[in-house]
Amino acid sequence: MTAVYDPFDPAFAANPYPFFKALREEDPCHQIAAADGVWLLTRYADVDAILHDRDRFSVDHRNLRRGPEQDLSYDDFPVILFRDPPEHTRWRRLLSHGLSPARIEAYRPRLAELIDERLDALDDKGEGDFVADVASQVPFQAIYELLGMPPADHDQVHAWVSDIVNLTEPVASPEVTLAIVRSRDEMRDWLQEVCAHKRAHPGDDVLSRLLTDTDPFDDDELISHVILLNVSAPEPTGSLLTYGVLALARNPEQAAELRADPSLDRNAVEEMLRYEAPLQLTGRYPLQDIELHGKTIEAGTAMVLSLASANHDQDRWGPTADELDLRRERANEHLSFARGIHTCFGSALARMHGQLTFGRMVRRFPRLELVEEPTWNSLLNRRGPTQVRITVR
């Protein structure tokens, strides 16, 4: 196969891995002519090294000199994801005071309850669309509850977040960009009121903790980070669950192993994360000219790092890289949460969702089956199934 990168080809959306394999072998540092010369990196070793190299690679869009035109200004969305140290260091520390590992772990029983409610409903119906019934509901409700946001506004916020999440796509139409900005502005205004109320009546929740920290965020930073948490948590977590259930339905012998051995629950999540990266890519901007595989990447040119491709690199994972193996050793070295200082802040919460869902699905529903092949969205970063119809009885 000759190396091509056409993510809009339906064959690519359904199975991009043969395309990535050709790119890794033939053109591991690939310039995408159709995207204004953006570079695409596909090998595990390269992606891993770049993610760790904070001296030469920035996440700050203000360092972009060459790449797709951005209609959207990231300058007024000050968050850890788009900033280098020292801002990144301070904000990330503040966030982890609010959403601490202990607080996440304490949420485990409640999360199990939310999942059980959804699986009860699936059981009653005997069939359903896993995306609509479970994956698009549970992770959003979880972060919403953890933050302590007013229950009455749950649906409105869910709608805003569904618009704003498109911020994470490298390409957006003018209509989509407009919707992002409109929803973000409305959510900001709403959050001003919510924060004012919480300051006056703090509760035992993450938002109250963030507002009352001794070295707090300023209002603008805080609101941007609350939006970031709402946007970055639910979709990829839902995607992990959907991809995982799809993989179990397609690999009944692996589902049987998991059913028989609950000690596999944790490694199964790592392998699911490796097998299908919920976020397929991330980006960096080199701060100096970079020589790689005989090419020169000029400083400030956008670079796309394919986490999905790195996770299937035979040089790292051996000949079974394209197979699902829930017992795979060191599966947790996948790059789905990235690496280095920007490693996913919510990885423990995301993992907990998987640990509580996959075992339950196979043990409770031994007859789990796909009703039909899923339909796929045409997104670049958040590539995934839009519908996964299953029967459970």
Binding site for ligand HEM (CB under 6 A): 59, 80-81, 92, 143, 228-229, 232-233, 236-237, 240, 278-279, 282, 336-338, 342, 344-346, 349-350
Question: In angstroms, what is the minimal distance from the CB of 157 to ligand HEM?
Answer: 15
Pair type for strands 303-306 and 38-41: parallel
Distance CA 310, CA 40 (A): 12
User: For ligand HEM, which is the closer residue by CB, 77 or 345?
Assistant: 345
Question: In angstroms, what is the minimal distance from the CB of 342 to ligand HEM?
Answer: 3
Distance CA 158, CA 144 (A): 9
Question: In angstroms, what is the minimal distance from the CB of 216 to ligand HEM?
Answer: 17
Distance CA 47, CA 303 (A): 10
Edge-to-edge strand ranges of the sheet holding 369-370: 127-129, 389-391, 369-370
| CA triple 67-73-77, angle to 5 deg | 120
Question: In angstroms, what is the minimal distance from the CB of 247 to ligand HEM?
Answer: 14
Question: In angstroms, what is the minimal distance from the CB of 235 to ligand HEM?
Answer: 8
Question: In angstroms, what is the minimal distance from the CB of 150 to ligand HEM?
Answer: 19
Question: In angstroms, what is the minimal distance from the CB of 233 to ligand HEM?
Answer: 4
| 280 exposure class (CB count in 10 Å sphere: 0-12, 13-18, 19+) | buried
Question: In angstroms, what is the minimal distance from the CB of 2 to ligand HEM?
Answer: 29
User: For ligand HEM, which is the closer residue by CB, 259 or 342?
Assistant: 342
User: For ligand HEM, which is the closer residue by CB, 80 or 223?
Assistant: 80
Question: In angstroms, what is the minimal distance from the CB of 282 to ligand HEM?
Answer: 3
User: For ligand HEM, which is the closer residue by CB, 338 or 392?
Assistant: 338
Residue nearest to ligand HEM (CB): 346
User: For ligand HEM, which is the closer residue by CB, 166 or 392?
Assistant: 166
Distance CA 277, CA 365 (A): 25
User: For ligand HEM, which is the closer residue by CB, 228 or 245?
Assistant: 228
Distance CA 68, CA 59 (A): 15
User: For ligand HEM, which is the closer residue by CB, 183 or 230?
Assistant: 230
User: For ligand HEM, which is the closer residue by CB, 265 or 392?
Assistant: 265
Distance CA 381, CA 104 (A): 26
Distance CA 339, CA 353 (A): 21
Cβ partners under 8 Å of residue 331, min gap 6: 267, 270, 271, 273, 274, 325
User: Do 240 and 228 contact (CB within 8 A), yes or no?
Assistant: no
User: Do 302 and 66 contact (CB within 8 A), yes or no?
Assistant: yes
User: For ligand HEM, which is the closer residue by CB, 47 or 392?
Assistant: 47
Distance CA 6, CA 21 (A): 14
Distances (CA, A) of 38 to 30, 67, 68, 151, 332: 8, 6, 8, 43, 29
- The length of the chain in residues reads 393
Question: In angstroms, what is the minimal distance from the CB of 92 to ligand HEM?
Answer: 5
User: For ligand HEM, which is the closer residue by CB, 353 or 392?
Assistant: 353
Cβ partners under 8 Å of residue 69, min gap 6: 36
